[in-house]
């Protein structure tokens, strides 16, 4: 700390040598460099959703599961005994598992208590996930309430600076919703293809990537599968790919990870 004297947000000449960042970037970032041989080992992926059925064969077990509930004005986080109250969280977990079979999956359930207070639960769940320091958090949900936007924005920035990657599904309706619109998260919409390893970088944000999200068979609570469509299934594809990249290249910041996803997208020349 002594070499980083005040002011905190500037860099004194003598401090330059102290902030060398070791990196070994290839001449060209390719998909082979990014993910080949990776199974997502050592990476913690959190599914912030309706809970996850950890016993589902396509989910293959959970490392942890908590439920967020409202206690008056406060949110409470407790071990989750209920599993998946809808089926949707299980679907997202199954998509991540299929891409990154070696990752550790965690469930933070923020649904199941009705619409009232749902914004508070999403905020409480996200705060918890960031405090836990998960590498990747999948958010296949959004809120339209503006009073949550500022708090969500602060949380998304905290996640970005501490190295937690937030992957959020974009809204395909003409309304403002959050957190997918924030530049500190990775936002994902759907393409119509059937290949889970095809993803596109969008040159016209706010949606930054398109991944598979139409007519795909996903795990659902009860042990079976369902055929589903929605941007909420595109996001876990990018979450799973992020786990592969972070497993092979640990320590990448969200900014670097987003760049790797961009450079290896199907339409940017990084794909085989």
Partner 1 sequence: MTDEPDYREAAAGGMLASEEGHRALLQSVVDVARAIFAARAASVFLLDEETDELVFEAVSGEGEGELVGRRFPSSTGIAGWVLVTRQPLVVDDLQQDPRFARDAAESTGYVPHGLMAVPLLIDEDVLGVLQVLDRPDDTSFSLAEMDLLTLFAHQAAIGLDLLQRARRARAALELGEGRAAQVARIAGLLEQSDALVGGQLLDALEALLRERRPT
Q: What are phi and psi of 230, to 5 degrees?
A: 165, 150
> What is the contact mask toward partner 1 in residues 48 to 67, using x (rule: CB under 8 A)?
--x-----------------
The one segment of 10-18, 24-32, 54-62, 229-237 that binds partner 1 by CB under 8 A = 229-237
Beta-carbon contacts of 202 under 8 Å, excluding residues fewer than 6 positions away, are 189, 208, 209, 210
Beta-carbon contacts of 133 under 8 Å, excluding residues fewer than 6 positions away, are 44, 162, 164
Q: Site for partner 1 (CB under 8 A): which residue of 206, 227, 251, 255?
A: 227
| Edge-to-edge strands, sheet with 165-169 | 74-79, 64-71, 104-109, 44-49, 136-139, 165-169, 186-191, 209-212, 200-201
Helix or strand holding residue 74 (H, E): strand 74-79
Helix or strand holding residue 94 (H, E): helix 88-99
Q: Site for partner 1 (CB under 8 A): which residue of 98, 197, 214, 271?
A: 214
Report whether 177 contacts 143 (CB < 8 A).
yes
Beta carbon of residue 225, minimum distance to partner 1 (angstroms, whole number): 7
Between helix 231-248 and helix 254-263 the angle, nearest 10°, is 110
Cis peptide upstream of residue 43 (ω within 30 degrees of 0): no
The one segment of 7-15, 37-45, 92-100, 169-177 that binds partner 1 by CB under 8 A = 169-177
The one segment of 16-24, 30-38, 227-235, 260-268 that binds partner 1 by CB under 8 A = 227-235
| Distance separating alpha carbons of residues 271 and 36, to the nearest angstrom | 12
Residue 215 near partner 1 by CB under 8 A: yes
The one segment of 73-81, 219-227, 251-259, 264-272 that binds partner 1 by CB under 8 A = 219-227
The one segment of 25-33, 57-65, 138-146, 244-252 that binds partner 1 by CB under 8 A = 138-146
With respect to partner 1, which residue has the nearer C-beta, 216 or 257?
216
> What is the contact mask toward partner 1 in residues 76 to 115, using x (rule: CB under 8 A)?
---------xxxx----------------------xxxxx
With respect to partner 1, which residue has the nearer C-beta, 111 or 257?
111
Please report, as ranges, the residues that interact with partner 1 according to CB under 8 A.
50, 85-88, 111-116, 118, 140-146, 169, 171-177, 190, 192, 214-215, 220-222, 224-232
């Amino acid at each position: 700390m002594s070499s980083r004297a005040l002011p905190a947000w500037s860099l004194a000449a003598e401090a330059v040598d102290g902030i060398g960042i070791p990196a070994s970037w290839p001449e060209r970032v390719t998909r082979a460099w990014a993910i080949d041989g990776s199974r997502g080992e050592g990476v913690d992926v959190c599914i912030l959703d309706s809970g996850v059925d950890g016993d589902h064969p396509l989910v293959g077990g959970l490392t942890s599961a908590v439920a967020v509930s409202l206690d008056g004005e406060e949110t409470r986080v407790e071990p989750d005994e209920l599993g998946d109250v809808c089926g949707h969280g299980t679907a997202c977990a199954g998509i991540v598992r299929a891409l990154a079979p070696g990752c550790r999956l965690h469930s933070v359930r923020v649904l199941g208590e009705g619409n009232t207070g749902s914004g508070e639960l999403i905020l409480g769940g996200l705060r918890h996930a960031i405090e836990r320091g998960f590498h990747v958090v999948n958010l296949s949900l959004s809120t339209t309430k503006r009073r949550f936007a500022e708090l969500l924005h602060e949380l998304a920035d905290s996640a970005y600076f501490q190295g937690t990657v937030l992957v959020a599904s974009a809204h395909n309706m003409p309304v403002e919703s959050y957190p997918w619109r924030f530049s500190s998260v990775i936002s994902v919409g759907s393409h119509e293809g059937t290949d889970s390893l095809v993803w596109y970088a969008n040159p016209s944000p706010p949606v930054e990537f398109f991944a598979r999200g139409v007519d795909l068979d996903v795990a659902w609570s009860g042990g079976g599968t369902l055929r589903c469509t929605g941007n909420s299934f595109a996001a876990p594809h990018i979450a799973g790919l992020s786990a592969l990249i972070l497993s092979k290249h640990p320590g990448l910041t969200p900014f670097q990870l987003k760049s790797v996803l961009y450079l290896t997208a199907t339409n940017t020349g990084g794909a085989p």
